[in-house]
């Protein structure tokens, strides 16, 4: 088993023979786990090859960077029946993809100051954006009072507009 430091980079899975073989060995594998192949990661090659005279071969798990705040996920590689070899006692490899995204909201004033004179008709504008992609819709409700008004009191973010500034 191994873990990534964050949601990027690669993890290498190594298959090892107990002795040098006079035949080429092909080690098939299947993938499972909580991570989704093609979305959270990809694996290359699709089977592990150990050449004649060698004792190891490898497959590389390439982690896909995303901006979704989610739990850590696993990619589980289970060894199938190899050609010209026998499966040993370790036939499952678990790779944990460590999530590095944090949820949050960024609120910024549009100008260099947020000061307005009380009783004047001066205005100021704020922009709001999410810090990471949500898995469900996020609604932010603004509640003005007697001293503050808002043109838009409901901001709705989802997976397609989470990084688009709203005012």
Residue 88 to residue 9: CA distance in whole angstroms: 29
**How far, in Å, CA of 107 to CA of 130, rounded?**
9
Query: In this structure, are strands 2-3 and 92-97 parallel, antiparallel, or unpaired?
Result: parallel
Over its length of 167 residues, how does the chain's per-residue pLDDT go in tens digits?
Answer: 787 767 788 999 999 999 999 999 999 999 999 999 999 999 999 999 999 999 999 999 999 988 888 889 999 999 999 999 999 888 999 999 998 888 889 888 876 666 777 777 777 788 899 998 888 899 999 888 887 778 889 999 999 999 999 98
Residue carrying structure tokens 């901006």: 67
Would you state the pLDDT for residue 5? 65
pLDDT on residue 100: 85
Distance CA 131, CA 96 (A): 23
In the numeric block, which tokens belong to residue 16? 């090892």
68 vs 39: CA distance, rounded Å: 12
Question: What is the pTM assigned to this prediction?
Answer: 0.71
Please report the pLDDT score of residue 156 as a whole number: 95
| 147-151: Cβ within 8 A, 24+ apart | 147/118
Integer angstrom CA distances of residue 164 from 89, 132, 160, 167: 51, 11, 9, 10
């Amino acid at each position: 088993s191994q873990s990534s430091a964050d949601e990027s980079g690669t993890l290498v899975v190594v298959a090892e023979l107990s002795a040098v073989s006079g035949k080429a060995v092909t080690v098939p594998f299947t993938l499972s786990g909580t991570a989704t192949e093609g979305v959270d990661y990809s694996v290359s090659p699709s089977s592990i090859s150990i050449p004649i005279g060698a004792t190891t071969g490898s497959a590389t798990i390439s982690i896909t960077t995303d901006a979704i705040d989610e739990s850590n996920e696993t990619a589980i590689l289970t060894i199938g029946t190899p050609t010209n070899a026998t499966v040993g006692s370790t036939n499952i490899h678990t790779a944990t993809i460590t999530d590095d995204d944090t949820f949050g909201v960024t609120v910024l004033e549009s100008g260099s100051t947020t000061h307005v004179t009380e009783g004047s008709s001066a205005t100021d504008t704020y922009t709001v954006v999410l810090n990471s992609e949500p898995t469900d819709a996020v609604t932010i409700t603004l509640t003005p009072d007697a001293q503050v008004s808002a043109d838009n009191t409901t901001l709705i973010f989802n997976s397609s507009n989470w990084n688009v500034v709203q005012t």
